[in-house]
């Protein structure tokens, strides 16, 4: 899966350079952070993807299941192309019989806010890894070294890669489409 951010993005934000031996781990953290952001948004978003699915228009209207839509490439019924009209977010066809829709969607480059949030999530995980705490020390309020002790301000409710409720709501509002998804992706 393509991450919203690359190692150099995280390096720039943290003001540090990762050794070549660390880069696979950083890449994996950024990919995990991006997967979390996709789950919060409820869709893939990036990179641009071509998908085909079978649609069941309601009174000739079919809402496309992903956005942003780059193009509607083909609409067929029983294997034959049919005329359609594209409107932002949906197509219009004649009738309500099933159609196969092939469309191109997604962002050409990762949106800046998703790049930033992927870096924030990866940095959170990296901090706990570098402290030897594993991947789930969110809400950590204090740490003692001798006779190791860790205390959580929230009882550990924020452990793992998580966004604040405000950030999660902002991602859903700006990039979300509910729980819609594409059934089949080509290529």
128 and 115, same domain (yes or no): yes
Within a domain: 114: yes
Determine the pLDDT at residue 166.
85
91 and 11, same domain (yes or no): no
160 and 121, same domain (yes or no): yes
Determine the pLDDT at residue 168.
86
Asked which of 30-39, 70-79, 111-120, 126-135 is least confident by mean pLDDT, the reply is 126-135
Distance CA 140, CA 124 (A): 11
- Other C-beta atoms closer than 10 Å to the C-beta of 127 total 12
Residue 183 pLDDT exceeds 60? no
The total of structural domains in the chain comes to 2
pLDDT, mean of residues 46-63: 95
Determine the pLDDT at residue 125.
84
Distance CA 57, CA 93 (A): 8
Range of the domain at 59: 49-105
Determine the pLDDT at residue 156.
46
171 and 114, same domain (yes or no): yes
Within a domain: 187: no
Tokens read off for 165 = 């409720």
171 and 118, same domain (yes or no): yes
Look at residues 2, 1, 18 and name the one whose alpha carbon lies nearest to residue 123. Answer: 18
């Amino acid at each position: 899966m393509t991450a919203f951010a690359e190692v150099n993005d995280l390096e720039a934000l943290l003001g540090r350079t990762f050794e070549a031996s660390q880069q696979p781990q950083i890449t994996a953290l950024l990919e995990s952070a991006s997967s979390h952001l996709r789950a919060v948004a409820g869709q893939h978003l990036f990179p641009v993807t071509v998908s085909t699915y079978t649609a069941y228009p309601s009174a000739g209207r079919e809402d496309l299941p992903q956005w942003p839509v780059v193009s509607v490439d083909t609409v067929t019924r029983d294997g034959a192309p049919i005329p359609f009209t594209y409107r932002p977010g949906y197509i219009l066809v004649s009738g309500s019989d099933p159609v196969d829709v092939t469309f191109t969607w997604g962002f050409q480059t990762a949106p800046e806010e998703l790049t930033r949030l992927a870096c924030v999530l990866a940095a959170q995980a990296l901090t706990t890894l570098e402290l030897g705490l594993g991947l789930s020390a969110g809400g950590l309020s204090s740490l003692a070294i001798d006779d190791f002790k860790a205390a959580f301000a929230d009882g550990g409710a924020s452990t793992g890669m998580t966004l604040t409720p405000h950030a999660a709501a902002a991602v859903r509002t700006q990039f979300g489409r509910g729980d819609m998804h594409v059934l089949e992706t080509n290529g």
